[in-house]
Structure 1
Amino acid sequence: MINFQNYEFSVLRYVHDTLTGEFVNVGVVIYCEKEKWISAQCRNTYARVSAVFPNLNSSHFRKMMKFVQSEFSRANDSLNTELQFSDIKSLQTLLHRVLPKDDSSLQWAPISAGLSMDLDSELTLLFERYVSHYDIKAGRDRRTEQDMWKDFKKTLESFSLTEEFQPKKIAVKDDEIEFLHSWKNGIWHCIEPISFDLSDSDYFKDKAHRWLGQLSSIQDSADKFKVYLLVSPPTESELQPAFNKALSILRKIPVESEIYLENDAPRLAEEIQKKMDIHNQSMH
């Protein structure tokens, strides 16, 4: 006779902005009361999360994931040995012992239940279903924002720029974005490379909406600024429709901005040189 076990589980969500409530699933916890057994599996990579939230603090995120996983491992070791766990009747109690219910970036999804004859395997299946399903599959190296800026910098070297780029934080009371490549000419001009060399069309809207939301959030900053988005398209032709939709979303950004495809990088470099030259002449 097959021995099925009742279990409860919850998905761990990373909520980047508690005001908008946007989140990405980052872990799963499974609990079997009968077996006095609990286990968690959390992300050990951050590519999916940073694809959605470009300004993710990756070091802090990794530490949070290690903390959650280690805490549930410790809880499992203690379930059969400590009297303090004798009154636990549900997963809810254990979840909030590790991560109390508050406004932090890690939040628990509503608890669900199931049956399994192999709880370890069930945890793996739940993780694949709710967390890793949308991960970029291993394959060729994708073009990153760092790659884009490295090449654009080479393009700029053919022009006689009169000013240096510098980091600049554009901030409002409750939010900020740091642009790494900026210069001031009456207003701040900020260049931001965005790579859409992705493998899954689901990422396109996520990434475009993230930038729309971030730039909308700082539109009332006391610093006057303009953003130049240098955009890299996908390599696979079948992803072009998703890319076109992403561009349409970026065009809704409510701050002064221009979008340049990476093929137009020389034109953007020329535009930068003209603006710098005009500013330099006005200073004399």
Structure 2
Amino acid sequence: MNSGQTYTYVLLRYRHDPLAGEIANVGVVMHCAGEGFLGAKTRRTIGRLSKMFPDIEKADLVSGLHAIERGISRVRDRDLPGLFAPSRDAAAFARAVLPDDDSSLIWGDMGSGITRDPATTMDKLYARFVAQYDEATRSGRDDAAVWQPVRERLVARNLADRLVPRTIVSPIDRVEFEHTWKNGAWHCYQPLSFDLASADGIREKAARWSGHMTGLSRAAEQIRPNFIVGAPSDPALNADYRRAIDLLRASALDPQVFDETEVDVMIDQIEDKIATHDAV
């Protein structure tokens, strides 16, 4: 009875901002010497990544992913004897196509296992390490839904028109805020829905925005960031939600974080600051 063959694999990762440590899995390369198998599978769409990193260069990333798949195919066709060599592994083949450098696409640590069907195993690795997080980030309520009660109160107090979009740029980051006003510094208000399907999704979103705070801390313009956050609908994720709030509050630029139950507190603060500014 065939007990299977040893295989190795390495994950391809997209590194959006080395300083902030923002990384997402975007593909996998797998090698099985016993079967003479070498394959790669990368993302076909980047919808989730564009939500994680709004300023991502979509065309460049898609082109890079396709180039890696083509590169693995060329290596497979060119080096057939090497596919059967037990001394070769997925990491060696992967780095023959994309050497380690300071680009946005990097290789993770190598893993291994036993397989009877390399192609099916590669699909499962892709589903586990890349595709499953697409489901994890689906939101019951999006950021716009968290902002809606804020907007209703701003309209009621004749303040909605005072908040305008503003893109804040630093040497290492660029973030567009839809709701800002200026009083010496730019007061920026960002809704964040943590009504997500998993603890990983909550942590990932909080870490991404904490990274933006680090990146914007070097902006030439002075900013005062504020977050209004929505809780998960699953009570089992409440502890992760509280940790996400703690992470945001500990971020660079000392942002204020308001739970969605504190909408009126935030609106009162906005109204008081605008009134003080207008009175000067």
Q: TM-score range by the shorter chain?
A: 0.7 to 0.9
Q: Which residue of 1 aligns with 2:14?
A: 14
Q: Secondary structure at the match of 1:157?
A: helix
Deviation larger for 245-254 or 269-278: 269-278
Are the equivalent residues in 1 in contact too, given 2:171–2:218 (CA < 8 A)?
A: no
Q: Secondary structure at the match of 1:247?
A: helix
Distance 1:172 1:138 in 2: 27
Distance 1:5 1:213 in 2: 42
Task: Name the CA shift for 1:263/1:20 in 2 (closer, same or farther; >3 Å).
Answer: closer
Distance 2:19 2:217 in 1: 16
Q: Secondary structure at the match of 1:131?
A: helix
1:108 pairs with 2:107: yes
Task: Name the CA shift for 1:93/1:214 in 2 (closer, same or farther; >3 Å).
Answer: same
Q: Which residue of 2 aligns with 1:192?
A: 190
Amino acid aligned to 1:221? A
CA shift for structure 1 position 2 = 2.2
Q: Which residue of 1 aligns with 2:38?
A: 38
State the number of aligned residues.
276
Over residues 31-85 of structure 1, what are the superposed CA-to-partner deviations in whole Å (9 max), with x where a residue is unaligned?
Answer: 245655432222345566567x45462734862575257525743xx744x5x77
Task: Name the CA shift for 1:111/1:248 in 2 (closer, same or farther; >3 Å).
Answer: closer
Task: Name the CA shift for 1:228/1:48 in 2 (closer, same or farther; >3 Å).
Answer: same
Distance 1:161 1:138 in 2: 32
Task: Name the CA shift for 1:269/1:21 in 2 (closer, same or farther; >3 Å).
Answer: closer
CA shift for structure 1 position 234 = 0.8
Amino acid aligned to 1:63? V
- Name the one with the larger helix percent: 2
Q: CA RMSD for the aligned pairs?
A: 3.3
Are the equivalent residues in 2 in contact too, given 1:5–1:32 (CA < 8 A)?
A: yes
Task: Name the CA shift for 1:36/1:145 in 2 (closer, same or farther; >3 Å).
Answer: same
For structure 2, which runs of at least 5 residues remain unmatched after alignment?
A: none
- Name the TM-score, length of structure 1 as normaliser: 0.79
For structure 1, which runs of at least 5 residues remain unmatched after alignment?
A: none
Are the equivalent residues in 2 in contact too, given 1:44–1:62 (CA < 8 A)?
A: no
Match of 1:224 among 222, 225, 243: 222
Distance 2:265 2:81 in 1: 69
1:247 pairs with 2:245: yes
Deviation larger for 217-226 or 229-238: 217-226
Are the equivalent residues in 2 in contact too, given 1:162–1:276 (CA < 8 A)?
A: no
Deviation larger for 245-254 or 216-225: 216-225
Are the equivalent residues in 1 in contact too, given 2:29–2:39 (CA < 8 A)?
A: yes
CA shift for structure 1 position 215 = 0.9
